[in-house]
């Protein structure tokens, strides 16, 4: 007999009353717990609709379950005919929208023949943005060419053309964006975006060229063409779980049984030639992707059978489901061989979180072998029959347990620090930020550093209208010398131009190599240009706010009560700060320790005003030093 579901450990998301009914053998109604599945169809853009349509109930009885699934007859489809295979690589050509052209026309109304020029500017072309979306599981729906929306032309009566809307390309988490083979972005967070190509700036209408010298300009410019790029998108992770087994073990049948993916099934080896991914959807909307990987044979690591390429796919799964054919004479030797092949390919690969699936339990010979198999292994063995659907619920529940464990581990990894370090890092983070309220000012000063989000925040503040001028300051500094070849202010300038800040509103200071010089030299540039600076907005990284303010109060060449400074930074939480270009959570701690030291030491050197370091901050500083973090 197969073990009943009473063996199943209740998962956290299953309430006890549902579980009791579940174990007692009543069928659970769909609105209490339902599992539904679907496959990824590259041709179906509306797959989410399919998901909601595909809800099925979970029943405890295998027969009921099989009945509920209806027709068990599977179509024999050749692998070639199957178009629904998993896509993990795409080459895309991106062409951002062009700017709309500016209008050339003059105001006219009855009895007022010679009105002034009133041709509006064209709108900017739409950007193309690649966005990580946790609901997308493959690159199948990514098309080879994207063209952004063009900006609308300007019109008469000073009407500006509408900007082209951005085009989003939704990709799965774990997508690498590459250009000429070089990785330029790793999209691993839900909602993370990469602005791949910028739309062209809109042309100027003739109103723009109105001056004292020329009261009726006839000039209007056409919009700039959008940026063009060819990028490669590559999926780093393939699926959460990989079905690993010898040919004919029933992997494809199992994927059919637990999801609506339809990989080909046949009674000969190597039926599956391409990996397929099916999605198991849980009632709380969590989705687990399961990959059917072509069969592995002895010597696969030496490229026998379908060879190494499929071991590569296994490497890209978070946990493994070893599928054994229990009707074969010694299924436990299959397991040993599979593990051997995996470890030959990559040492330790067979140790990933896993479950052992004993398949073909409907056959009489299999039942005898189950206990022997259990005595050979220490891991949990889940007996199932992919053909009849027996006990697949236990597999689905266990899959969820593995997935929850993976999420926990991932969260820990993302934090990049243990709980105690995290608590103390937060104390420093909160102390170093000032939370100044924004006020309309004369100029926004973006202080150069290696974090482009500072440039983006500065430009965004300008575009929101917080000041009529944007000044970027910075040569190569401590974080950028030896890393960047261009000066910080120049790099920031590019970011702001791409975001649509007019060049005429941007000032540059390209000499400063530290925060003090940023402050003093910016003041000099403003003085030279006769730009008033009774209120300035200073933008830096979040943990630099306090240091920048203290430096301003000491080094701003005018009396500080004549100039008011508001310090701000990109709006990031402590865990959003880490970024491939700026460093990990550990780097952040090291930076924060460095800033605390400067707050302590710099006042004596005349660089900053004196500030109190609260005992909690000193305590956190000392603890983190002891824990091995070194100030940067
Ligand atoms: N009796 C029985 N037969 C099964 C079961 N699962 C799969 N089979 C049969 O085993 C054969 C192989 O099944 P597949 O699902 O194609 O096996 P696979 O592991 O995907 O094989 P490859 O793609 O070649 O690696 C088919 O004839 C299936 O009908 C099961 O639980 N019970
Ligand atoms: Mg198969």
Domain membership flag for residue 632: no
Locate 495 and state its tokens. 């970011």
269 in contact with ligand 1, CB cutoff 6 A: yes
Q: Which residues are registered as beta bridge partners of 408?
A: none
The mean predicted confidence, pLDDT, of the chain is 81
Q: How far apart are CA 567 and CA 470, in angstroms?
A: 14
For tokens 């009849």, the residue is: 388
Average pLDDT over residues 523-540: 94
Considering the domain boundaries, does residue 11 fall inside one?
Answer: no
pLDDT value for 17: 40
Q: Determine whether the shortest distance from the Cβ of 386 to ligand 1 is under 6 A.
A: yes
Same domain, 461 and 567: yes
In a domain? residue 26 = no
pLDDT at position 13: 44
Instruction: Give the per-residue pLDDT at 358.
Output: 95
Asked whether residue 387 carries a pLDDT value surpassing 90, the answer given is yes
Q: Ligand 1, closest atom to CA 386?
A: 31
Same domain for 131 and 227, yes or no, is yes
What is the span of the domain harbouring residue 569? Answer: 423-626
Residue range 119-136: average pLDDT?
92
Residues 248, 356 within the same domain: yes
Q: Do 152 and 197 reside in the same domain of the chain?
A: yes
Asked if residues 379 and 358 have their Cβ atoms less than 8 Å apart, the reply is no
> What ipTM was reported for this prediction?
0.98
The answer to whether residue 496 is domain-embedded is yes
Q: Can you point out the beta strands (E) in 100-224?
A: 128-132, 145-147, 167-171, 175-179, 182-187, 193-197
- Claim to verify: residue 262 and residue 229 sit in the same structural domain: no
User: Is the predicted pLDDT of residue 619 greater than 70, yes or no?
Assistant: yes
Question: Tell me, what CATH number does 333's domain have?
Answer: 3.40.50.300
Q: Which atom of ligand 1 is nearest to the CA of 249?
A: 19
CATH label of the domain that carries residue 505: 3.40.50.620
Q: Which of 3-7, 277-281, 486-490 has the lowest mean pLDDT?
A: 3-7
Q: For 591-608, what is the mean pLDDT?
A: 92
Mutate to test the pocket of ligand 1, among 79, 246, 250, 251 (most ligand atoms within 8 A of CB): 250
Ligand nearest to the CA of 253: 1
The CATH number of the domain where 217 resides is what? 2.70.210.12
**Residue 418 domain flag:** no
- SS3 string, 330-384, reads CHHHHHHHHHHHHHHHCCCHHHCCEEEEEECCCCHHHHHHHHHHHHHCCCCEEEC
Last residue of a domain, one of 204, 237, 270: 237
Distances (CA, A) of 90 to 76, 140, 169: 29, 8, 12
Mean pLDDT of 24-29: 31
Q: Do 587 and 492 lie in a common domain? A: yes
| Cβ count near 587 (within 10 Å) | 16
Tell me the pLDDT band of 529, cut-offs 50, 70 and 90.
very high
From ligand 1's centre to the CA of 136, what distance in Å?
28
**Same-domain status, 269 and 327:** yes
For residue 5, being part of any structural domain is answered with no
Q: What percent of the chain has pLDDT over 90?
A: 49
Say if ligand 1 is within 6 A of residue 163 CB: no
User: Do 341 and 298 belong to one domain?
Assistant: yes
CB atoms within 10 A of CB 18: 17
pLDDT in tens, 211-243: 888 888 999 999 999 999 999 998 776 688 999
Residue 425 alpha carbon to ligand 2 centre in Å: 49
Cβ atoms of 116 and 134 closer than 8 Å: no
Average pLDDT over residues 171-198: 87
Q: What is the pLDDT of residue 415?
A: 59
Residue 13 in any domain: the answer is: no
Is there a single domain that holds both residue 173 and residue 267? Answer: no
Distance CA(354)–CA(323), nearest Å, equals 11
Give the separation between CA 482 and CA 491, rounded to whole angstroms.
15
Looking at the domain assignment, is residue 335 inside a domain?
A: yes
| Ligand 1 binding pocket includes 253 (Cβ within 6 Å) | yes
Same domain? 169 vs 245: no
Q: Pick from 237, 256, 277: which residue ends a domain?
A: 237
Q: Which segment of 2-6, 163-167, 502-506 scores lowest on mean pLDDT?
A: 2-6
For residues 562 and 457, membership in a common domain is answered with: yes
Instruction: Tell me what the mean pLDDT of segment 505-527 comes to.
Output: 94
**Domain's final residue, options 200, 216, 237:** 237
CB of residue 318 inside a 6 A radius of ligand 1: no
Question: Average pLDDT, stretch 463-475?
Answer: 95
User: Do residues 447 and 585 both lie within one domain?
Assistant: yes
Counting the structural domains of the chain, the total is 3
Decide: 533 in ligand 1 pocket, CB within 6 A. no
Query: DSSP secondary-structure letter at 544?
Result: G
Q: How far is the CA of 294 from the centre of ligand 2 (A)?
A: 6
> Each residue of 264-321: pLDDT tens digit?
676 676 666 667 788 888 888 888 889 888 888 777 777 776 666 677 778 888 899 9
In terms of phi and psi (left: phi > 0; alpha: psi -120 to 50; beta: otherwise), the region of 391 is left
Q: What is the pLDDT of residue 26?
A: 31
Instruction: Tell me the pLDDT tens digit for each residue of 67-99.
Output: 344 444 444 444 444 434 456 778 999 999 999
- In angstroms, rounded to a whole number, what is the distance separating the alpha carbons of residues 323 and 254? 9
pLDDT one-digit tens code per residue, 450-463:
999 999 999 999 99
CA of 326 to the centre of ligand 1 (A): 11
Q: Whose CA is nearest to atom 13 of ligand 1?
A: 250
């Amino acid at each position: 007999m197969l073990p009943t579901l009473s063996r199943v450990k209740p998962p956290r998301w299953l309430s006890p009353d549902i579980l009791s009914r579940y174990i007692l053998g009543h069928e659970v109604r769909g609105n209490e717990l339902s599992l539904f599945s679907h496959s990824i169809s590259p041709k179906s853009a509306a797959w989410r609709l399919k998901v909601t349509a595909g809800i099925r109930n979970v029943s405890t009885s295998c027969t009921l379950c099989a009945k509920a699934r209806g027709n068990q007859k599977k179509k024999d489809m050749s692998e070639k005919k199957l178009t629904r295979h998993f896509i993990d690589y795409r080459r895309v050509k991106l062409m951002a929208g062009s700017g709309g052209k500016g209008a050339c026309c003059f105001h006219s109304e009855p009895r007022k023949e010679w009105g002034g020029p009133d041709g509006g500017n064209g709108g900017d072309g739409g950007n193309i943005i690649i966005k990580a979306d946790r609901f997308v599981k493959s690159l199948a729906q990514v098309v080879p060419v994207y063209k952004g929306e063009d900006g609308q032309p300007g019109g008469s009566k000073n009407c500006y053309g509408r900007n082209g809307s951005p085009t989003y390309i939704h990709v799965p988490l774990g997508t690498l964006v590459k250009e000429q083979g070089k990785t330029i972005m790793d999209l691993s967070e839900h909602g993370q975006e990469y602005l791949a190509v910028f739309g062209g700036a809109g042309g100027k209408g003739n109103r723009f060229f109105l001056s004292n010298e020329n009261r009726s300009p006839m000039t209007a410019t056409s919009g700039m063409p959008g940026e063009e790029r060819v990028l490669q998108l590559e999926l780093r992770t393939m699926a959460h779980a990989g079905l690993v087994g010898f040919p004919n073990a029933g992997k494809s049948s199992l994927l059919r049984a637990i999801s609506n993916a339809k990989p080909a099934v046949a009674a000969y080896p190597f039926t599956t030639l391409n990996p397929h991914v099916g999605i198991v959807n849980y009632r709380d909307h969590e989705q687990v992707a399961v990959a059917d990987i072509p069969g592995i044979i002895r010597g696969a690591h030496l490229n026998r059978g379908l060879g190494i390429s499929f071991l590569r796919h296994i490497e890209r799964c978070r946990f493994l489901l070893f599928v054994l054919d229990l009707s074969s004479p010694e299924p436990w030797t299959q397991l040993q061989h599979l593990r051997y092949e995996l470890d030959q390919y990559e040492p330790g690969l067979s140790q990933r979180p896993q479950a052992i699936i004993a398949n073909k339990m409907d056959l009489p010979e299999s039942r005898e072998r189950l206990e022997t198999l259990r005595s050979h292994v220490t891991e949990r063995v889940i007996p199932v029959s992919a053909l009849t659907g027996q006990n697949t619920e236990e597999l689905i529940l266990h899959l969820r347990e593995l997935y929850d464990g993976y999420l926990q581990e991932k969260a820990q990894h993302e934090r990049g620090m243990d709980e105690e370090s995290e608590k103390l890092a937060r104390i420093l983070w909160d102390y170093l930020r000032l939370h100044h309220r924004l006020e309309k000012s004369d100029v926004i000063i973006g202080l150069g550093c290696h974090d482009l989000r500072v440039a983006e925040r500065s430009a965004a503040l300008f575009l929101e209208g917080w000041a009529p001028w944007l000044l970027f300051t910075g040569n190569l500094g401590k974080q950028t010398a030896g890393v960047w070849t261009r000066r910080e202010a120049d790099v920031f300038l590019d970011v702001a131009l791409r975001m649509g800040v007019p060049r005429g509103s941007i000032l540059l200071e390209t000499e400063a190599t530290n925060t003090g010089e940023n402050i003093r030299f910016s003041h000099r540039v403003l003085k030279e240009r006769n730009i008033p600076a009774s209120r300035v907005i200073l933008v830096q990284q979040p943990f630099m706010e306090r240091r920048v303010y203290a430096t301003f109060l000491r080094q701003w060449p005018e009396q500080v009560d004549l100039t008011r400074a508001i310090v701000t930074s990109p709006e990031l939480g402590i865990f959003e700060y880490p970024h491939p270009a700026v460093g990990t959570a550990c780097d952040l701690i090291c930076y924060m320790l460095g800033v605390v030291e400067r707050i302590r030491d710099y006042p004596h050197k005349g660089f900053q005003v004196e500030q109190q370091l609260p005992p909690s901050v000193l305590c956190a500083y000392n603890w983190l030093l002891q824990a091995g973090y070194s100030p940067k």
